[in-house]
Amino acid sequence: MIQKSVERVSIDVDGRAASYLTAGEGPTVLLLHGTWWSRVWLPVIEHLAAAGLRPVAVDLPGCGCSEGELSHQSASVPELAAWLVRFHAALNDAGPVAVAGHDIGGAIAQHVLAS
């Protein structure tokens, strides 16, 4: 039975609030959404937390509950990958990190891991 509760948290990235859903403690797993926002990860967040991980389902800038506005330039995969690196640094997470994504989130994850 899963008993971890999901919470929404915001941190500052580039002077704007970056919102994310999280639960549990352990190694971080950054979860990147596609077209919509972090809520698409709700069906798996508690399962990952129950497995001893710390899922962090981030709302990309201008999506979901994160501040910002996407332009043609800022919505590019390289720009969003660079933003994700800054988001992770703002988490003050020094441990190992995994990245998972779908849709454009999958492309961002690939770009981050290949950089």
2 pLDDT exceeds 70? no
Q: CB of 59 within 8 A of CB of 65?
A: yes
Tell me whether residue 83 is in a domain. yes
pLDDT in tens, 16-48: 999 999 999 999 999 999 977 899 999 999 999
**pLDDT per position as a tens digit, 44-82:** 999 999 999 999 999 999 999 999 988 888 889 999 999
Q: Is residue 1 part of a domain?
A: no
Q: In which domain, by residue range, is 73 found?
A: 7-114
Point out which residues pair with 74 in neighbouring strands.
none
pTM higher than 0.75: yes
The arithmetic mean of pLDDT across residues 75-102, rounded, is 94
**Domain tally for the chain?**
1
Looking up residue 16, the CATH number of its domain turns out to be 3.40.50.1820
